[in-house]
Amino acid sequence: MRFSHTISLSIFCLLVTISTVRSVPPQPPVRCDQTGCTVSSAYGTWPDRKTCKAANITYPTTEEELRKAVAYASERNLKVKTVTKFSHTIPKLACPSGSDAMLISTSKYNSVIEIEPDRLTVTADSGVSLRELIDKVEAAGFSIGTSPYWEGVSIGGLISTGSHGSSWSGRGGSVHDHVVGISLVVPANSSERYAKVIRLEEGRDDKLLNAVKVSLGVLGVISKVKLSIEKAFKRSITYNFTSDVALEEIFMEHGKRFEFGDITWYPSRKTAVYRYDVRSPVNVSGNGVNDFIGFQSNPILISKGVRALEKSLEASKSESGKCTTADTTLAYKKLTGNGLKNNGLLFTGYPVIGNQGKIQTSGSCLYSSSFRIDVSCSWDPRYNGLFFYETTAIFPLPRFRDFILDVKKLRDMKPERLCGIDIYNGILIRFIKGSKAYLGQGEDSVVIDFNYYRADDALTPRLNQDVMEEMEQMTFLKYGAKPHWGKNRKVGFFGVKQKYGPNFDKFLEVKNKLDPKMMFSSEWSDEILFGREGLKYDGCALEGNCVCSEDRHCSPSKGYFCRQGLVYTQARVCRFSSAKVSMA
Ligand SMILES: Cc1cc2nc3c(=O)[nH]c(=O)nc-3n(C[C@H](O)[C@H](O)[C@H](O)COP(=O)(O)OP(=O)(O)OC[C@H]3O[C@@H](n4cnc5c(N)ncnc54)[C@H](O)[C@@H]3O)c2cc1C
């Protein structure tokens, strides 16, 4: 209880001050000097905490320059990696192989967006940002059916990892299922000037298109993406903050009934937030905006303060402190409609109705203002703000109910242990439709995301980390969920190849055909794509680089030992034991 006032005050200050300010933009992900280039993720730290080097970088602005860049590398047998303006992938997918590799950035390849009203398509250069694309399409009287909830991504980067929103309707919630054409630059032989552009169309080149749609950057450089669009529409959203009783019975009906519905589950708070989100005609009044709280600008001092507070709660193993934080955050989300703004400025009540383009995605912390240099995205690595892991798992629909029941069992043993998840965004539950993409989901699925504290150094264990590890292993091992390619810790990818069955081999067949010299592959993309486990080392389970099988994979000196899961007993997790510490 000692912490509760301080926490409430700090969190309240954070939440109140984030209002409508714009902020310091994120730093560019690639920095070069005389010794070469360093590629960072937007979070500043890759999963293995090691830097990622390349020899040099090129910034094509046209498709021909892009082709020449690939030709240059192909002729010289260089390894290549495509990087974007954003680098919002969490695993090391954007990291090239070896420090003599070449980077091709799409950050300046973003000038062309062509709408074909009669065909209901838009074609964009792959470096175009999601926000630019949406705004252009909406200005022409159309809408893009789905998108990830975060707009700090490029169109080439977001489809490459299978990014999605939430929908079981129409073409579904995954952006790659709205793709009807792709131009891809691939290596070629000398008679073809070492690189060529291949143009793929839905219905004509499905075998290749199904591979390229979600291809983790390992098939070549996507030059252009053609998406299916629709006549402009609006959306109407209401959040219902309520009990999580019968969540396991309700979720399916919810996904079917609300075209863009989702559910945010705060298990420790026994609360589910049902998002009733449906399409409205464009002539219904409403200029609402979705400015999701988690993606708004935060005063840098407050982000630092919240991180410092979280660290102190970790150090003192204060479950009650974390639960107070979770309560305050949840109450604030309820008060502010989670960042929905009826008139673009304030939340005044439900439903919030707005254009699809203003509702489908958000990220106001991305944008700069010349007069506010004291605010940024809360995780901006320059300011020691929030630092966390993200687990994102995609469940075959029939298995999701039992997962909810398992988490409830785990929660009911001691709800406080899940507060560490609920101070972030609980468990976000979204719906995506079956896809033909080889590395997409073959069947209608349910996606969950949850975030949790990451320590400043790799060998510091975390409060209740066993519970989060058990949930992680339940998802990927017990229920066979697939990892989101652009998120997750290394353990999420173990055995991923088998989960895709014959489609994985179809993908590899195309990979061998388009990039036989594996120019676009690296040890990092192999680690993710093939889900290899690698050698275990002392402390490897702490950062999700292994599943522990011996105590030394946890942190015996700090009282964390390898133990079986509480509900999923096959799980092997690092659990704290005070008795053992005092005996040591
Ligand atoms: C705060 C936050 C919120 C997020 N929310 C969501 C969400 O709601 N839903 C969701 O599904 N995901 C979400 N993500 C994940 C994000 O959508 C993906 O990581 C996405 O791939 C990032 O796109 P990017 O443009 O930053 O690409 P990068 O991270 O730069 O690149 C990703 C991969 O794509 C490759 N690549 C990029 N461009 C090309 C190209 N032109 N040709 C070939 N390969 C290319 C890169 O080599 C790399 O392998 C979120 C991430 C963050 C940080």
Which atom of ligand 1 is least distant from the CA of 377?
1
d(CA 235, CA 358): 9
Over residues 138-156, the mean pLDDT reads: 98
| CA pair distance 114, 309, nearest whole angstrom | 48
pLDDT of residue 1 exceeding 50, the answer is: no
DSSP one-letter string for 58-119: E---SHHHHHHHHHHHHHTT--EEEE-SS---SSGGG--SSTT-EEEE-TT----EEEETTT
Question: In whole angstroms, what is the distance from residue 517 CA to residue 499 CA?
Answer: 26
Greatest Cα pair distance in the chain: 75
3-state secondary structure 456-468: CCCCCCCCCHHHH
Residue 151 Cα to ligand 1 midpoint, Å, equals: 10
Please tell me the predicted confidence (pLDDT) of residue 240: 98
* Ligand 1 contacts CB of residue 43 (under 6 A): no
Q: Check pLDDT > 90 for residue 333.
A: yes
Which residues in 229-343 belong to E strands, given as ranges?
230-231, 234-243, 262-266, 271-280, 289-290, 298-299, 340-341
What average pLDDT does this structure show over 35-54?
Answer: 93
Specify the ligand 1 atom closest to the Cα of 43.
Answer: 53
Answer whether 418's CB lies under 8 Å from 467's CB. Answer: yes
Check whether 327 has a pLDDT greater than 50. yes
Burial of residue 516, with CB atoms counted within 10 A of its CB: 0-12 exposed, 13-18 middle, 19 or more buried:
exposed
Residue 449 has pLDDT above 70, yes or no: yes
Tell me which residue has its CA closest to atom 44 in ligand 1. 217
Ligand 1 atom nearest to CA at 86: 26
Going from the Cα of 159 to the center of ligand 1, the distance in angstroms, rounded, reads: 7
Q: What is the mean pLDDT of residues 384-408?
A: 97
Q: How far is CA 258 from CA 146, 161, 254, 430, 493, in A?
A: 14, 25, 6, 11, 31
Ligand 1 atom showing the smallest separation from residue 155 Cα = 25
Return the bridge partners of 197, or none.
Answer: 185
pLDDT digits (tens, 9 = 90+) for 510-522: 999 999 999 999 9
pLDDT(583) > 90: no
Q: Which residues pair with 129 in a beta bridge?
A: 154
Higher-confidence position of 286 and 369: 286
Q: In the predicted model, is pLDDT for residue 25 greater than 80?
A: no
Q: How large is the average pLDDT for residues 233-248? A: 98
**Ligand 1 centroid distance, CA of 444 (Å):** 22
Ligand 1: centre distance to CA 158 (Å)? 4
Class of domain 4-21+234-454: alpha beta
pLDDT for the residue numbered 23: 67
How much is the pLDDT for 268? 98
Instruction: Read off the pLDDT of each residue in 217-244 and give the average, rounded to a whole number.
Output: 98
Query: In the numeric block, which tokens belong to residue 464?
Result: 């209740």
pLDDT at 12 over 90: no
Residue with token string 């498709």: 63
> What pLDDT is stored for residue 372 in this prediction?
75
Is residue 579 pLDDT above 90, yes or no? no
Q: Is the CB of 82 under 6 A from ligand 1?
A: yes
Interatomic CA distance for residues 494 and 280, integer angstroms: 42
354 dihedral zone (left: phi>0; alpha: psi -120 to 50; beta): beta
Nearest to 514 by CA among 190, 93, 67, 198: 198
What is the helix (H) or strand (E) element at residue 447, kind and residue range?
strand 445-453
**Cα–Cα nearest to 79, from 174, 218, 176, 209:** 218
Closest CA to ligand 1's atom 37:
157
Q: Is the pLDDT of residue 53 over 70?
A: yes
Indicate whether residue 305 lines ligand 1 (CB < 6 A).
no
Which of 39, 67, 88 has the most ligand 1 atoms within 8 A of CB, as the residue to mutate? 88
Q: Could you tell me if the CB of 148 is within 6 A of ligand 1?
A: yes
Ligand 1, atom 36, lies closest to the CA of 157
Q: Which atom of ligand 1 is nearest to the CA of 81?
A: 47
CB of 121 sitting under 6 A from ligand 1: no
Nearest CA to 497 out of 244, 216, 273 is that of: 216
Distance 522 CA to ligand 1 centre (A): 17
User: Are 155 and 183 a contacting pair, CB within 8 Å?
Assistant: no
Can you tell me which atom of ligand 1 is nearest the CA of 90? 19
For the chain, the domains span 4-21+234-454, 29-106+109-232+500-532
- Before 351, cis peptide (omega within 30)? yes
Torsion 214-141-352-386 (CA) sign: positive
Q: How far is the CA of 155 from the centre of ligand 1 (A)?
A: 8
Query: What Cα–Cα distance (Å) separates residue 301 from each residue in 291, 423, 571?
Result: 21, 19, 39
DSSP assignment of 499-559: HHTHHHHHHHHHHHHH-TT-TT--HHHHHHHH-------TTTTTTTSS--SSGGGSBGGGT
Which is the closest atom of ligand 1 to the Cα of 84?
Answer: 30
Kindly state if the Cβ of 154 falls inside 6 Å of ligand 1.
Answer: yes
Question: Does ligand 1 lie within 6 Å of residue 103's CB atom?
Answer: no
**Ligand 1 atom closest to Cα of 93?**
49
pLDDT for 18: 43
Residue-level pLDDT at 330: 97
| Close Cβ partners of 388 (under 8 Å, ≥ 6 residues apart) | 379, 424, 451, 452, 453, 454
**Which among 226, 227, 223, 225 has a CA at the least distance from the CA of 60?**
223
So what's the pLDDT on residue 370?
A: 63
Q: Which CATH architecture has domain 29-106+109-232+500-532?
A: 2-Layer Sandwich (3.30)
Q: Whose CA is nearest to atom 27 of ligand 1?
A: 157
pLDDT of residue 2: 39
| Local structure of residue 386 (DSSP, 8 states) | -
Percent of the chain with pLDDT over 90: 90
Q: State the distance from the centre of ligand 1 to the C-alpha of 310, rounded, in angstroms.
A: 28
Provide the total of helices (H) and of strands (E) in the chain, helices listed first: 16, 27
**DSSP 8-state secondary structure symbol assigned to residue 486:** T
